[in-house]
Each structure stands twice: as structure tokens, then as C-alpha cells.
Amino acid sequence: MATQFGKPPCLVGILALTCVISHTGTCWAGGSACVSGTSVRACVEWSLAANPDPDTDFRVTFNAGGEPNIVLKTGDGGWEVYAVELVDGQPTNTVVNIASLTIDPSSPSQNFTVAITKDGGAGAADVGTINLDAGSWSGHSSIGSGSHIAGDLTGPLTIESDANGAGGKLSLTIDGDVLPGAAISAPVLKWLQLSGDLRAALAITNYVETGAYFVIGGSIDSQVNIDIASMPGKCQLELAVGSPESDLAGQLLLHTGVDAGQTVKVGNLSGVVDLLGADVVGWFEITGDATGEIVNGGDIRDGGFVTLNTEGEFSGNATFQSVGALSALRAHGGMFSGSMTVLGDVATGGFVGAHGGNMAASAQITIDGDLGGRFEWPRVDQYDGDARGTVQIGGNMKGEMVVGGGVIGSIAVLGQCPGDMLVAGDLSGAIDVLGDCPGDIRVGGKLLGSVSVGANLSGLIESEYDIEGSIDVDGTCSGDIHTKAGHAGTIVIDAALTSTGRVRIDQQCAGLVNVRGVTQLLSLVRAGGLGATGEIRISEIPGLSSTSRGTIHVGPVSIETPLPPVTFDVRIRVNPGGSNAWQGTVYIVGCHATADPLDICLCGDIGGILELVQGDCANQVTVACGASCP
């Protein structure tokens, strides 16, 4: 082996400085030394003017393959190391492997900062063990800024901070992979750019430095953990983002979550992101496909955003504690076929849902607490906005729910619904509210499926087009059930239609309207006509003790001349039982469309008013009364 020391002076600007020159002519301010083997030259430099002394300040040996083992003995904050190929005894610009880089401190308190670099670029091809730790040593070590490995990290990397938390900083660019067995452990992350795959564990045991940049372009193996103890300031983490195939298959542990000013971006996710109960106040985003999980999420709050997909399919699971004001848990493009769960509330001003993308039938969106903010699945660009999966609110729906397409799956509110729901398209699935519903449920298309209220309805259920499905209210109705078109399904109110209650069918009723309890004074059941399969039933529950009043109106609201035909081919059945009596008004406007007799069946204790506006109709409406209705 041959050791080469200091170089001739060089001129920088107009000042003549004594410095060391590499074989390429680059000027260094500190001293340097190189040790040559058979085919490799290993060089070191530091911040001191004097050249480092081999055996005293550093040591270089070569393994059987000719690769250098570099040992630094004297502490310095500006060590730089590299290894280049020798051809015919002359150094080239081609960097080669370094077998190991370690320290052997000459005194216990010495500190080491080492950069693997040559002329501002890569200082080695592959690098094996990097161990900047030693026994009975109280100093600190760091991998310095500008460190660059052109190949793979093939051995473990360890650096240490001291008892006061100084040092321990990692700043490194790796063009290749981190191979199995090459675990990385550092107290502080300043910069890490890995172009290839991470196939060994990575632990940041103290914190990620403010302004840090952490990028892994390749995949993270399934057995690999990335464990980050703390991220106290602004920083950016991008994992598995180098290609469409890059995948986080391992586990990312974020002990302090994602704070304000922080961005965490993941390409494909087949592994696990574990937030360990911490919050998201910054930005978390998955850009590719996700079959994995986000677990133990805390609150998404104070402007935090979690985006589960932007281009790919999210078929995994994501769980968070709550969503606060001005914060969001959302899909944003591609297909959503997995589940998102909020264990608590979505606050006023919070958002859950999507800003684009399609929902699959397997999708499950669950809010175990109250929805005080907004749920939305929009129809935008190439996405249809259909809710094909399951949406469930475990508490009360106080805010807004908007579906830009139709509801093919189901929406369930296990508590009360004082908020508003809008389905812009057809409802062919189900909307179920188990508690009271003082809010509005509006369907912009046809109501082909079902809407049910498990208690009382004091709000509005409305369809812009035909009702061909069912509306069921288990309690009283003091609100409004309305279709701007016809009705061929079933509308059932199990208790009373109160004085403010309304059932309004603007066009023909070919289905069933059944108010099983009493109809109170000023209540209204109105239809533009009654088709061959249509029927209005009032007070069919046996033993009712209250009098049924209100108005049953068939035909147009305004009286025209001449009167229009009224499709009225079946019956109105008023069938009070027990001591109940009918004291309401049956009001029919128009002419019977055919010569067939109209069957208005009034049974029981009949009173009230029957008013037929017939004019000179050729086919008069007739009334049948008896002890029972057929």
C-alpha cells in the first residue's frame, strides 16, 4: 500500500491558498491523504489544514476482494471519504466499493461527521457496514451533507448522538438499494434519498429535522419497518414513489403522526401505515393502488387532509378517531372499493367522502359518531358519482350528505337525522334512518328503492320523479312526503299523520298510501289521480280511540273549466276501528275517466264531508259505504 499526502498550492479567485488538490483538480480547504491498494485508491480528507496521518488519524486496509476498510480515529466535523479505481497505478474518476466505514476514537469525547463524496458527487459504488459508534465512547457521529452512494448499501448503518442529543444526523443519497441485512439506525434524519428498494429496517430514533427531505423511489419489502419516533417541524416524506410498481409492502410507524406543514406521500400501499394514535394536521396522500391499511389514526384536525387515492384503487382499510373542522378524509380519483372508518365524530366543517372517483359495491364508509360536517360523493369528470357501497352514520346526521349520482347501495343513520340528504340521481338502494328525521331527504331522480324512518318524520322526503319503491315511517308524520311525479310503490305511516303532516303525489297514484293510524285535523293526503292499482288507506289499526280528520284530495289543486278527467279506478278505504270515527273531508275534483263505477269505500262511524266536484261529467264519481270494505 502507498500513502499519498498533500498537494501543491492552487489559486482560488485572486487569493493564493495552500490547499489539497484531487487528481481532477478540485481544490479542498483541508488536508487529505490517499492509500492505494492493488486496484483501488481510498482517500480521506478533513477540515484541518494539516494532512491526516495514517494510523494516528485514520487507517485503511483492504479485504480479499481489494475493497477498502476505512477507520477514522481522530474526531473531525468535516471528514470526507471516497474510493476510486486504479488503472495501471493511476486513479480514475470511477468510484468503487467501500467494504466498511467505521470509527475507532482516539479519545472518548471525540465527534465525527463523515461525508461519503468525491468532488460533490458519489464517493463510492456499493458500501458495506457503516458503523460510527464505538464502545466506551461519549461523543457523537453524523453522516454529513452531500453523502452519496452510487450503488447499494450492503451492510448496516449506525450513527449516534451524545447524551445531550447533539449529532446523530443522517444525510445520504443512495442510487441503488438498501439490501437485506443493511438496517439503518440514526437519531436524526436530515436527508435521505433512496432511488431503489428498501429491503432492511430503517429507524429514526429521535426526530426528523425541520426541512428534512426523505424519499424512497423503490419498494419497501414486506418484512421491513420504517420507524420514525418524531417529526416536530416541517418536512416531506415520499415513499414508494419512483415508479408505478413501487410499493410500500412493509410497515411505516409515525409515532407523532403528520403535523402542520408536513407532507407524507405513499405510492402503492400493500402494507401498513400505523399512526399509533397520533393526529394528522398536515397532508397524507396515497397516489397509487392501496390494498393495505392505515391503522390507529388519531384526529384529522386543524386543516389536516388524508387522501386515500388519487389515481389508483383503494381496496384497503383506513381508520381514524375523528375529523375536525376544515379537515378531510377522502378518496380523490380512481376506484374506492375498501373502507374508511371514523370512530368518533365528523365536526361541523369537516369532510368525509370523495372529490372524485367511483365507489364500488364493496366500499364501506363508517362514521361511528355524529356527522356534523359534510359527506359527499360527487359526479365529476369521468366519474358517475354513484354510491354503490355502504355508508353508515352511527350517531346523528346533523350536517349534509350529498350523492352526485344515484344510491345503488345503502345509507344508514343509526341515530337521528336533523341534517339534509340529497341524492342527485335515482335511489335504487336504501336510505334508513333509525331515529327521528326532522331533516330533509331529497331524491333528484326516481325513488326505486326504499326510504325508512324508524321513529318520527317531521322533515321532508321528496322525489323529483316517480316513486316506484317504498317509503316507511314507523312513527308519526308531521312533515311532508312528496313526489313531483307519480307514485307506483308503497308509502306507509305506522302512526298518526299530524296536523302538519302531508302526503303529496303531484301526478297519478298507482301504488299504496297507507296511514295506519289517525289523520289529524289539517292533515293532507293528496294525489293527482288514482290508477287501477292505486289505493289510499286510512286508520286500519284496530282499536284506535281518536277521531280521524284532515283531507283526502284527488285531482288537480285548482279547479279548471272544463274539468279534467281524473284517473280514479280503485278505492279510497277509510276503515276506522274501535271507537274511532272519520270526521275528515274527501275531496275529488274532475270527471271519472271511464264508465266503470268509482269505489270510494267509507266504513265504520262515518261523518265529515264528502265533496265531489263533478260539473257536467258524463261519468259521475260514485260512493259506496258499508260495514266493511272489500
Tens of pLDDT, residues 327-377? 999 999 899 999 999 999 999 999 999 999 999 999 999 999 999 999 999
Q: Is the pLDDT of residue 593 over 70?
A: no
Bridge partners, residue 461, by sequence: 441, 481
Whether residue 151 is contained in a domain is answered as: yes
CB neighbour burial string for 521-542, b if at least 16 within 10 angstroms, e if fewer: eebbbbbbbbbeebbbbbbbbe
Question: What nine digits make up the cell of 3?
Answer: 500513502
Q: Residue type for 594, please?
A: T
Q: From the CB of residue 159, how many other CB atoms can be counted at a distance below 10 Å? A: 25
Question: What nine digits make up the cell of 468?
Answer: 316506484
Q: Is the pLDDT of residue 429 over 60?
A: yes
Whether residue 276 is contained in a domain is answered as: no
Q: Would you call 616 exposed, middle or buried from its count of C-beta atoms within 10 A (0-12, 13-18, 19+)? A: exposed
Whether residue 214 is contained in a domain is answered as: no
Query: Please, what is the Cα angle at 471 between 516 and 604, to 5 degrees?
Result: 15
pLDDT confidence of residue 22: 35
Q: Is the pLDDT of residue 569 over 90?
A: no
**Residue 267 to residues 213, 319, 513, 629: CA-CA distances in angstroms?**
16, 19, 54, 68
CB-based contacts of 55: which residues, under 8 Å, 6+ apart?
none
Q: Would you call 583 exposed, middle or buried from its count of C-beta atoms within 10 A (0-12, 13-18, 19+)? A: middle
Whether residue 316 is contained in a domain is answered as: no
Whether residue 14 is contained in a domain is answered as: yes
User: Which range marks the domain in which residue 38 is found?
Assistant: 1-200
Strand 571-574 to 225-228 pairing = unpaired
- Confidence category of residue 72, pLDDT binned at 50, 70, 90: very high
Q: Are 544 and 572 in contact (CB under 8 A)?
A: no
Q: Residue type for 204, please?
A: I
Could you write out the DSSP letters of every residue in 432-464?
EE-S-B-SEEEESS-B-SEEEESS-B-SEEEES
Q: Are 625 and 604 in contact (CB under 8 A)?
A: no
Q: Is the pLDDT of residue 563 over 90?
A: no
3-class SS letters over 184-250: EEEEEEEEEEECCCECCCEEEEEEEEEEEEEEECCCECCCCEEEECCCCCCEEEEECCCCCCCEECC
Q: Which long-range contacts (C-beta less than 8 Å, at least 24 apart) are formed by 184-189? A: 184/153, 184/156, 184/157, 185/156, 185/157, 185/158, 185/159, 186/143, 186/157, 186/158, 186/159, 187/159, 187/160, 187/161, 188/142, 188/161, 189/214, 189/228
Q: Is the pLDDT of residue 552 over 70?
A: yes
- DSSP type of residue 389: S
Whether residue 181 is contained in a domain is answered as: yes
Q: Are 583 and 547 in contact (CB under 8 A)?
A: yes
Q: From the CB of residue 620, how many other CB atoms can be counted at a distance below 10 Å? A: 14
pLDDT in tens, 4-21: 665 433 322 322 222 333
pLDDT in tens, 467-511: 999 999 999 999 999 999 999 999 999 999 999 999 999 999 999
Whether residue 601 is contained in a domain is answered as: no
pLDDT confidence of residue 596: 60
Whether residue 566 is contained in a domain is answered as: no
Structurally, the chain folds into a number of domains equal to: 1
Q: Is the pLDDT of residue 165 over 80?
A: yes
Q: Are 391 and 368 in contact (CB under 8 A)?
A: no
3-class SS letters over 131-173: EECCCCCCCCEEEEEEEEECCCECCCEEECECCCCCECEEEEE
Question: What nine digits make up the cell of 399?
Answer: 350536517
pLDDT confidence of residue 208: 98
Name which of 27-36, 396-405, 414-423, 484-493 the model is least confident about: 27-36
Q: Is the pLDDT of residue 558 over 90?
A: no
